[in-house]
């Protein structure tokens, strides 16, 4: 049970995964001509990472963020505000609206594309799971983790998809950050610092992104080279390629038995 649930809530569909519920959220946005995709922990799960995130993070175009949030506020018969969460390091998640479906152990956030992407969200960046849930394409999702310096999540993505050293330079922009990326990092840091200023005298540290250019090619190489080091001791390195993938296993997106 999530922290937004109560004892009378029924479990979400698909053994608590909430596939039917998130599809309804996506359809509600679609009916309002708002495209969306799932980011965060659920996107990592789609790409083969073994984790059990609770909330869904629904990403919408920047100029539709307020409209999308207002839609679920108006649907008060079906949804209610979810409990606030504590601030997280290098994250603005706590500043975005969280909604809970009434009577169901299911909650989600609405967030603008700028939380993850330099460019605004559009249909060319999206693919759909076998259950028709929209996720960012692998290249776009990986690039967002690079740009936003979410290195632990990028390492998990590498392990979930068993990406090799050549994949990064072939599909990602790992050279010196573009001006748009540099401007993005500066703007994101302004938001982080602005939030921290709201708590003068506290020990709260939300963190900031590195504004000094990072050698992202070397960073990619180091994360790929450490795949086996991230494996748990009980996993055989003869049988496992990464902490999440057996050698020779299929792309996790192709498996029909996954509730993603």
Length of the chain: 260
pLDDT digits (tens, 9 = 90+) for 200-248: 555 566 688 999 989 999 999 999 999 999 999 999 999 999 999 999 9
pLDDT digits (tens, 9 = 90+) for 154-179: 999 999 999 999 999 999 999 999 99
Stated pTM of the model: 0.93
Contacts of 254 (CB under 8 A, 6+ apart): none
Contacts of 236 (CB under 8 A, 6+ apart): none
Residue 90 — pLDDT band, cuts 50, 70, 90? confident
Q: Where are the domains of the chain?
A: 10-254
Residue 151 — pLDDT band, cuts 50, 70, 90? very high
pLDDT value of position 19: 97
pLDDT value of position 49: 97
Tell me how far apart the terminal alpha carbons of the chain are, to the nearest angstrom: 19
Alpha helices in the chain (DSSP H): 19-31, 41-46, 65-74, 138-147, 151-161, 167-171, 179-196, 216-225
């Amino acid at each position: 049970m999530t922290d937004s649930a109560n004892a009378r809530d029924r479990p979400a569909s698909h053994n608590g995964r909430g596939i039917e519920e998130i599809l309804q959220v996506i359809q509600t946005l679609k009916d309002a001509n708002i495209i969306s995709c799932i980011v965060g922990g659920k996107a990592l799960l789609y790409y083969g990472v073994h984790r059990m995130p609770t909330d869904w993070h629904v990403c919408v175009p920047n100029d539709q963020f307020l409209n999308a949030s207002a839609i679920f506020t108006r649907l008060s018969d079906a949804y209610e505000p979810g409990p606030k969460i504590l601030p997280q390091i290098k994250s603005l998640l706590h500043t975005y609206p969280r909604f809970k479906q009434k009577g169901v152990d299911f909650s989600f956030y609405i967030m603008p594309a700028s939380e993850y992407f330099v460019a605004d969200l559009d249909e060319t960046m999206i693919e759909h799971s076998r259950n028709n849930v929209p996720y960012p394409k692998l290249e776009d999702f990986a690039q967002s983790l690079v740009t936003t310096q979410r290195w632990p999540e990028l390492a998990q993505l590498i392990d979930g998809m068993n990406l090799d050293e050549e994949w990064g330079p072939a599909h990602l922009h790992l050279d010196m950050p573009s001006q748009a990326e540099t401007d993005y990092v500066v703007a994101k840091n302004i938001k982080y610092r602005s939030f921290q200023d709201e708590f003068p005298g506290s020990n709260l540290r939300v963190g900031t992104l590195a504004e000094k250019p990072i050698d992202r090619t070397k960073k990619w190489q180091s994360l790929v080279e450490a795949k086996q080091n991230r494996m748990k001791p009980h996993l055989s390195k003869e049988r496992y390629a990464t902490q999440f993938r057996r050698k020779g296993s299929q792309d996790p997106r192709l498996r029909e038995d996954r509730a993603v």
